[in-house]
Amino acid sequence: MEIELVEIRDFLAQRPPFDALPEEQLDQLPKSLEIRYLRRGSLFPPGDAVKGYIYIIRSGAIELLDEEDNLIEKLAEGGIYTTDCQLIDFSQVTHGIAVEDTLLYQLSCDVLKSLRMTEPAFDRHFSESIRDRLKQAVRTLQVSGETSPIAEMTVEVSDLIRKSPVSIDINSTIRQAAELMSEKNVSSVMIMDGTELAGIITDRDLRKRCIAAGVSSDRPVSQIMTTNLETIQESTMAIQALMTMTRLHVHHLPVKRGDSVVGMLTATDLARHHSTNSAFLASDIRKAATVEDLARVSERLPDLQFQLANSNASALHIGEAISSITDSLTARLIEMAESELGPPPVRYVWLCGGSQARREQTSHSDQDNAMLISDEMKPEHADYFEILAKRVSDGLNACGFVYCPGNAMATNPKWRQTLQIWRKYFNTWINKPEPMALMLSSIFFDLRPVYGEVEIFNELRSDILSKTRGHGIFTAFMAANALHHRPPLGFFRTFVLIHGGKHDDTFDIKHRGIVPITDIARVFALDQGLPQVNTTERLEAAAETTVLSRDMGENLVDALEFIASIRIYHQAEQIRKGLKPDNYMSPEELSDLERKHLKDAFRVIQEMQDAMENRYQGGRFV
Amino acid sequence: MLTRFLGLDSIRKRALAKAEPGILHDYLSTPLTAKTTQCEQLSIVSLDLETTGLDPNKDKILSFGLVEMEHMTIKLETARHQLITINEEIPEQSAVIHQITDDQAATGVSIHDALQELLQRMAGKVMLVHYSAIEQNFISNACQKLFGAPFVIPIIDTLVLAQRLFERRNHTIQPGDLRLFNLRPRYNLPNYKAHNALSDAVATAELFLAMASEMVPQPSQCQLKRFLTR
């Protein structure tokens, strides 16, 4: 190579996809280029081009537009335009315009083709679909770095449990169960009624409910077994299982895959695996006697988030870990309140909403909660629940989960009601959707029980889902609502490029990246009557129905994971610097590759929003 | 304008009559590019020389760098950089500027071979330079010495074009304003760190593209005569 073209070589070498070329190819590359200059206002690509080229912007800026002159993309230094070589990247783009005086490098499609044939890493940049690129991006996020003890808490329950569950028929005697337990050397046994899990018996049950209580060991196991079991899914994270055990004060949790029982998780299984840090957190929550104790535990939440982020836990798992700790804190606050106020006069269940309910919380978000009380409630019970709600909400606030600015909390009498009233609320929201309901939708259409009588909530939930399922008008309103938050188009130099060609210095990664996906997933879940609340689970379940293709479902899941990870890293960096974590990101924080992947993720959202606009004709109601 | 062009062509013919048979004779036999040629049809060679000093009678050419343009597009595949051997030490004050050492110069070709390549490449084309006095005079002087006749070629000089643009806008020209690397930022052209014959030839070619698009925004109205400075 002529040494003086080093400058051009170095310019290319810094940028994808050319950074994937080996040295000797890079050295040769400048010789294959041609240089053109476009004055501001000129059409792009240059109309007189004699053959197909890809264009690389050396200096200046190009706007790419669709048929109707809508801005699709804006290229700055290093930007590449590949459409003329029959590559799919900007399929909507029909023309472009130089918006600054622009120096262009052009490389003929023939040269590009031969480079792609000899250099697989280079080729991948052009041949991979958005889908493959996102998948790869998510994978890269998770394999970099070593797994630390903290990350071990992000292993799934299925990795910890014994493979074959020990179970016995419900008609067996207590002695038979005890013999089986001795033989298999286990501390618990599952009691099966046919294929259904009816209950469990533990060593402790044998001691307390059989021997100490003087019950004959010839009696059926059903007499001493524990029923009404909390179970966990095998995909649950270890840390979440630990928090569930802490909250319920149990040492055994049956594990399910879908509806079928696959094993039993014991506290010992967990003890072998959990990291000291989260174990201390769990035991400190359990031991906490006062709100102050809990507040001190809660102060460590940002640290935990930081450590999880550093140990390459996925955003999905970090959200679950933080949410389950918040669950445990909430449950402990309720226990403390109940022990002072006495047992509740009627059955009730404490519900959380929003990101905690979706198990997508980052540390110390605002609290969103509600109380669902049995219809047996009498007017004289109101005081009890009011005081309870206030204790818990104040406690959460003291723990850093500040009061909800929209007052969507159990302390608000409106959101502390009986099943009957809650049914009416949802009935109105679903049948007469109005802006207020839509505002609340991200809180109250994502509800999850945290403490109390889950059955009451299950009743409400099946009622809600039976009403929303296939409800055209309601779904259209929800779909229109899901189009409110649009992702940015991409990045342009140090700016964020938004629709209409405007620039911003920063962007709100939560509202422009994460919220659009959670909104989309909620529309699908309600339209299809799916019980899932977690966004990833909603998308996976929706992808099994006709409403969402499997490809698009996977794309959205990957897009969410990538965007959420970028947000987690952004917040981890702020935590490290002792700042309060927020959602405002500047493009300067992002590497070229991250920008590219984020742009892919935004494009997936955009595509889905466009499809949704058509499908539900959401645009009509905006 | 017409008489000036005829003037250049008659200079060529006069030189052709004087030139000894061989390289320069062949070069001068090729008709010059017509000044009414559309820009799109132009073949331009952007050239830069490094020399031991500024006096063509005393100083020597140390290297040339060039790149060709067709269809108002710079073809980097034509990029050339050539060192030239001189039979004397390189003066220190010039070595500071061009950074060519005696050892490097020793690896170069003779001035004869260098001229042969330059003349073959530039036959029938337009020469693009920034500050034409150096290139024109050094090459012409060398041709006179070696082949007995001067070098004749239509020239576009981006320094002169810049001067005209400044004057047309009534801008006072400050010292240094017309230097290649001070003009480029005005056209949003990148800053090149390296300075040598080839990178300067490329930089000049880019500057010309930018100036041409400013002076004649409509490509269909773009003709050579608009830019000729000789």
Ranges A237-241, A317-321, B65-69, B145-149: which has the least confidence: A237-241
User: Which strand (E) or helix (H) includes residue A611?
Assistant: helix A592-615
Strand-strand pairing, B61-70 and B155-157: unpaired
Token code pair at residue A533: 């609340």
What's the pTM?
0.74
Q: What pLDDT sits at residue B7?
A: 81
- Compute the nearest-CA separation of A312 from chain B (Å): 40
- Asked if the Cβ–Cβ distance from A106 to B193 is below 8 Å, we say no
* Element of type H or E holding A256: strand A252-257
Amino acid B12 reads R
Whether chain A has a CB inside 8 Å of the CB on B219: the answer is: yes
Residues of chain B found within 8 Å of residue A3, distances taken between Cβ atoms: 81, 198
Kindly provide the b/e burial profile for residues A297-316, where b requires at least 16 CB atoms within 10 angstroms of the residue's own CB.
bbebbbebbbbbbbbbbbbb
Average pLDDT over residues A321-341: 92
SS (H, E, C) A211-245: HCCCCCCCCEHHHCCECCCCCEECCCEHHHHHHHH
Percent of chain B beyond pLDDT 90?
71
| Residue type, position A564, single letter | A
Asked if B81 and A2 come within 8 Å (Cβ–Cβ), the reply is yes
Is residue A234 within 8 Å of residue A213, measured between CB atoms? no
Q: Rounded to a whole number, what is the largest CA-CA distance in chain B?
A: 50
Tens digits of per-residue pLDDT, A58-108? Answer: 999 999 988 888 888 889 999 888 877 866 554 678 889 999 999 999 999
Across the interface, whether the CB atoms of A33 and B76 are under 8 A apart is answered yes
- Inform me whether the C-beta atom of residue B193 falls under 8 Å from chain A C-beta atoms: yes
Residues of B in contact with A50 (CB under 8 A): 71
Determine the Cα–Cα distance for residues A296 and B17; give it in Å rounded to an integer. 100
Local confidence band at A525 (pLDDT 50, 70, 90 cut-offs): very high
Express each pLDDT in A465-492 by its tens digit: 999 999 988 988 889 888 989 999 888 8
Encode pLDDT of A183-216 as tens digits.
888 888 999 998 888 999 988 888 888 888 888 8
How far is A100 from A412, CA to CA, in rounded Å? Answer: 56
Confidence of residue A276 (pLDDT cuts 50, 70, 90): very low
Select from B75, B188, B214 the Cβ nearest to the Cβ of A34.
Answer: B75
Binned at pLDDT 50, 70 and 90, residue B3 comes out as very low
In this predicted structure, what is the pLDDT of residue A162? 67
Q: How many Å lie between the alpha carbon of B169 and the closest alpha carbon of chain A?
A: 19
Q: Is residue B157 over pLDDT 90?
A: yes
Between A5, A30, A36, which is nearest B73 by CB?
A: A36
Determine contact, residues A123/A88, Cβ cutoff 8 Å: no
In this prediction, residue A563 carries a pLDDT of 95
Residues in B closer than 8 angstroms to A32, CB to CB, are 76-77
| pLDDT band, very low/low/confident/very high, at B120 (cuts 50, 70, 90) | very high
Q: With an 8 Å Cβ cutoff, is B84 touching chain A?
A: no
- Residue A1 scores a pLDDT above 50: no
- The whole-angstrom distance between B76's CA and the closest CA on chain A is 5
Interchain contact, A101 vs B206, CB within 8 Å? no
Q: Name which of A577, A557, A565, A601 is nearest A311 in CA terms.
A: A565
B205 has pLDDT over 90: yes
* Among chain A residues, CA nearest to B205: A35
Residue numbers in A near B190 (CB within 8 A): 58-59, 103
Q: Does the pLDDT of residue A358 top 50, yes or no?
A: yes
- Contacts with B198 from chain A: Cβ below 8 Å: 2-5
Q: Which of A352, A340, A336 is nearest to A285 (CA)?
A: A336
Q: What is the DSSP letter of A202?
A: E
A439 to each of A460, A524, B108, how far by Cα in Å? 20, 18, 77
pLDDT for A303 equals 80
Instruction: Quote the minimal CA–CA distance from A34 to chain B in Å.
Output: 5
Q: What is the spatial distance between Cα A129 and Cα A113, in angstroms, rounded to a whole number?
A: 17
Partners of A4 on chain B (C-beta within 8 Å) are 65, 79, 81, 194, 196-199, 202
Q: Supply the DSSP symbol for A155.
A: S
Instruction: Give the pairing type, strands A34-38 and A62-65.
Output: unpaired
Which of the two residues, A397 and A243, has the higher pLDDT score? A397
Residue A265 has pLDDT above 60, yes or no: yes
What phi-psi label fits residue A468: left (phi over 0), alpha (psi between -120 and 50 degrees) or beta? alpha
Q: Which of A431, A421, A423, A432 is nearest to A460 (CA)?
A: A423
Residue A68: burial class (beta carbons within 10 Å; 0-12, 13-18, 19+): exposed
Which overall architecture, per CATH, does domain B2-226 show?
A: 2-Layer Sandwich (3.30)
Work out the average pLDDT over A292-301.
90
The pLDDT assigned to A521 comes to: 97
pLDDT tens-digit map of A135-182:
877 877 765 544 444 445 567 788 777 667 889 999 999 999 999 998
Query: What spatial distance separates the first Cα and last Cα of chain B, rounded to whole Å?
Result: 10
pLDDT tens for A565-586 read: 999 889 888 888 888 889 999 9
- Both tokens assigned to B38: 């559309």
Residue with token string 């040598």: B196
Q: Would you say residue A617 has pLDDT above 90?
A: no
The distance of Cα A424 from the centroid of its chain, to the nearest Å, equals 30
Name the DSSP class of A445.
Answer: T
The answer to whether B147 touches B19, Cβ cutoff 8 Å, is yes
Strand-pairing partners, residue A473, are none
Chain B neighbors of A58, CB-CB under 8 A:
190
Q: What are the angstrom distances between the C-alpha of B55 and each of B52, B59, B87, B89?
A: 9, 5, 17, 16
pLDDT band at A3 (very low <50, low <70, confident <90, very high): low
> Is the Cβ pair B79, A32 closer than 8 Å?
no
Query: Where are the strands (E) in chain B, listed by range?
Result: 43-51, 61-70, 73-83, 126-129, 155-157
Q: How confident is the prediction for chain B on average, in pLDDT? A: 90
| Count of CB atoms situated within 10 Å of the CB of A502 | 12
Q: How far is A25 from chain B (nearest CA, A)?
A: 14
C-alpha A322/C-alpha A85 separation (Å) is 47
Q: Residue A393 has what pLDDT?
A: 97
Name the H helices within A274-409. 276-287, 291-298, 301-310, 315-341, 354-357, 382-398
Give A26→chain B minimum CA distance, Å: 14
Q: Do A2 and B198 touch (CB under 8 A)?
A: yes
Window from A251-255, A609-613, B94-98, B158-162 with minimum mean pLDDT: B94-98
- Tokens 């959990």 correspond to what residue? A274
**Span B20-46, pLDDT tens digits:** 899 999 999 999 999 999 999 999 999
Lowest mean pLDDT among A123-137, A282-296, A382-396, A593-607: A123-137
User: Chain B interface, mutation test: which of A33, A35, A106, most B Cβ atoms within 10 Å?
Assistant: A35
* CA-based nearest distance B51→chain A, Å: 17
Report the DSSP pairing between strands A369-373 and A416-418: parallel
Interface residues of A toward B, Cβ cutoff 8 Å, are 2-8, 30-39, 42, 48, 50, 58-60, 100-103, 106
Q: How far apart are CA A85 and CA A533, in angstroms?
A: 44
Number of Cα atoms under 13 Å in the Cβ half of residue A361:
27
Map tokens 């290319």 to a residue: A12
* Mean pLDDT estimate for chain A: 87
**Whole-angstrom Cα distance, residue A57 to residue A563?**
27
Percent over 70 (pLDDT), chain A: 92
CA distances from A313 to A62, A143, A144, A154, A316 (A): 39, 10, 10, 7, 8
As a whole-number percent, the residues of chain A with pLDDT over 90 amount to 48
B64 or A138, higher pLDDT = B64
Measured CA to CA, the distance from residue B24 to residue B143 in angstroms comes to: 7
Domains and CATH numbers, chain A: 3-127 (2.60.120.10), 157-274 (3.10.580.10), 292-461 (3.30.460.10), 472-621 (1.20.120)
- Pick from A5, A42, A48: which is nearest to B76 by CB? A5
- By the 8 A CB rule, do A526 and A474 touch? yes
Rounded CA separation A107/A211 (Å): 85
